[in-house]
Chains A and B, each alone.
Chain A
Amino acid sequence: MKLKEFLLKCENIYRFIQNIFRQALSPPFEWREILKQCYAVGNRSFFLVSFTAFLAGVVFTRQSRPSLSSFGAESWLPSLVSQAVIRSLGPLITGLICAGKLGSNIGAELASMKVTEQIDAMEVSGTRPFSYLVVSRVVATTLMMPILVVFADIVALLGSYLTVHSINNTGFELYFNDVSANITYLDIFSSIIKATFFGFAVGLISCYVGYNSQDGTTGVGKAANTAVVISMSFIFIIDLLSLQFTNLFR
């Protein structure tokens, strides 16, 4: 019985993803809603993501420095921090912050619309609720996440630079020359592509959980919670898979 439920759920998820792609690629597009969601995802998360990334850069630098100092390799700090931030730390922090913030937001929003039958009303009124509510949010998270990652990377490196500068009085040019000398295009593009998958996963999971919520008002909280938990779990799974995939090219 449970297996049957599981398989049905898999089929349901597959149909959900199929619908997203079909409606995202075929007109009419909900441009205004997409832009609105982009603003909500990108601009409204910018400060939180930047603040977290800045702190991560500072903390990571301060924690790495003693180990490198004991080897007399303090000059490797920019190289180490840049690789850590761009390959993993930046996308991961952005993904987790967005999973928490956007997952709960989208999950709760769609779940409340579902339980108050607003979605059914939209269908009756001839509006395409799936395209308007789901596709716009998934597209927004998928598009905005890489941009947020770029900002997060830069801010984290800035935090790292300020830390190194305050300790060793290292120059801005020297630090960022070291950073750019040790970062490759593969690092940057793998990071951006990974962020895209993070965005898609957060949007998809949050929308699916919210769009298919049940059990009335209790289902809203449950949907928000589930959206956050599953999104965060998938962030780590995707991070691991992308690492394995990227290593094929290294």
Chain B
Amino acid sequence: MDEGEIKERVKLGAFVAGGSVLFLIAVFFIGSASNFFNKTFVVSAIFKNVEGLKEGDKVWLSGVQIGVVKTVRIARVGEVVVSLSLREKQNEFIRKNASASIGSDGLIGNKIVVIQPGNSPVIIQEADTLNAVSPADTQQLINIAKEVGENTRSITFDLKAISSKIKNGQGIIGELLNEGAFAKDLRQTVTSLKISGENIAKASSEISAVTEEMKHGRGLVPTLLSDTSYVSVFKKTISNVKKVSISAATISKSTESITTKMNDRNNSIGVLLADTAFAHRIQTIIKNSESASFKLDQDMEALKHNFLTRGYFRKQEKKEKKEKEKDEAKGLK
């Protein structure tokens, strides 16, 4: 065998060995990914519908792949048994009451089995059965979508009717948007409120000023508020007011007694106030007195002009005139 042939054979050996090693590495990595070289344990879950789950699909626990779907078989109608091959080291995280559901790896990804670990103190064992949560049936989802669509349509019709009413100025919102009576009332109310607010602000400002004046001013009230010497004066005043009120009460009682007596017909004032016949007589007497007085006046006037008595009256006039002049002179001095 010549040297060239040996070189060729060495190169060929390297080529074949390289290819074989790469092949074995590929086999090992693929085996690792599908738990081929790991110790595994098998559990199962019974679903009503697996939504296209197939052998080799991934099993996730808390978002980490811990195994693969080993087999999927229909036990009977509405009962699909799914065997899951899980890494043995992961079983400590899965409890007896763990549940399995079917999800999707991304929006349009492959189906996956998602395990909820559960909270039981007992961990899961080989050949146990997980509680299965079956996915919603596609037809059910379609029915729900249909129902939602119908509801949306109904809501749209209602909204259309409401918007039409609003547009035509019906109802409170319609009146508001279309400057109806309610809008005008509201606007007036707002204006009134604005004016009231301004007045309140003004009053508040004045109260503030008064308060300030009471705090620091020199009037009666600030003095009363700030000067403590007025306390004794006030006390005395209040005491006097109290005495006055007691006296007033006594007076009130006396008045009441007098009033009672006045109302009584057994005394003269009572007769005067209450007896109408007596009052009538008094009226007649007064009238007669007026008549007598008038006549007396006429008699006196007649006496003034009588020659027997005329001198007396003239003396009297002169005397009065002199006294009047004396008084005037005193007033000038």
Instruction: Name the interface residues of A1-44: CB closer than 8 Å to any CB of B.
Output: 32, 35-36, 38-39, 42-43
Q: Which of B8, B26, B33, B56 is packed against the most chain A CB atoms within 10 Å?
A: B26
Select B19's contact among A32, A39, A151, beta carbons within 8 Å.
Answer: A151
**A225-B232 Cα distance, complex, nearest whole Å:** 139
Q: Is A177 an interface residue (CB 8 A)?
A: yes
Name the distance in Å between B182's Cβ and chain A's nearest Cβ: 52
A32 to chain B, nearest CB (A): 8
Contact B32 A42 (CB under 8 A): no
**CB of B242 within 8 A of chain A?**
no
Contact B15 A184 (CB under 8 A): no
CA distance A70 to B34 in the complex (A): 30
Please tell me if B30 contacts chain A, counting CB pairs below 8 Å: yes
Chain A residues with CB below 8 A from B26, complex form = 150, 153-154, 180, 183, 188
Given contacts A150-B19, A185-B27, A188-B27, contact A180 B11 (CB under 8 A): no
Secondary structure dominating the interface of B: helix
In the complex, what's the smallest C-beta–C-beta distance from A36 to chain B, in angstroms?
A: 7
A197 interface residue (CB < 8 Å to B): no
With a CB–CB cut-off of 8 A, which chain B residues contact A148?
19
Looking at chain A, what size class is its interface with the partner chain? 20 to 34
Residue numbers in A under 8 Å from B56 (CB-CB) = 184
Q: How far is the CA of A120 from the CA of B23 in the complex (A)?
A: 42
In angstroms, Cα B11 to Cα A146, docked, is 17
**Given A73-B108, A180-B29, A184-B30, also A39-B22 (CB < 8 A):** no
Chain A interface, >50% SS class: helix
Residues B8 and A150 in contact, CB atoms below 8 Å apart? no
A83 CB → nearest B CB, Å? 12
Across-interface contacts of B18 in A (CB, < 8 A):
151
Indicate whether A154 sits within 8 Å of B22 (C-beta atoms), given known contacts A180-B32, A180-B33.
yes
Q: Given A71-B108, A180-B33, A39–B12 Cβ distance below 8 Å?
A: yes
Is A36 touching B27 in the complex (CB atoms < 8 A)?
A: no
Asked whether B16 is an interface residue with its Cβ less than 8 Å from the other chain, the reply is: yes
A176 within 8 A of B: yes
Q: What B residues does A177 contact at CB under 8 A?
A: 33
Contacts of A184 in B (CB 8 A): 30, 34, 56
Residues of B near A180 (CB, < 8 A) are 26, 29-30, 32-33
Of residues 44 to 62 in B, which have CB atoms within 8 Å of A's CB atoms? 56, 58
- Tell me if A147 and B16 are in contact (CB < 8 A): yes
| Distance in angstroms between the alpha carbons of A71 and B109 in the assembled complex | 11
In the bound complex, residues from chain B placing their C-beta under 8 Å from that of A179 are: 29
Q: Is A161 an interface residue (CB 8 A)?
A: no
| CB within 8 Å for A43 and B11 given contacts A180-B30, A183-B30 | yes
Residues of chain B touching chain A, judged by Cβ–Cβ distance below 8 Å, are 5, 8-9, 11-12, 15-16, 18-20, 22-23, 26-27, 29-34, 36, 56, 58, 65, 106-108
Contact sample, A vs B, 14 pairs, CB 8 Å cutoff: A38-B16, A39-B9, A43-B11, A43-B15, A46-B15, A71-B108, A73-B108, A150-B26, A177-B33, A180-B33, A181-B65, A183-B30, A185-B27, A188-B23
Chain A to chain B: the 3 pairs with minimum beta-carbon distance, closest first: A147-B19, A180-B29, A39-B12
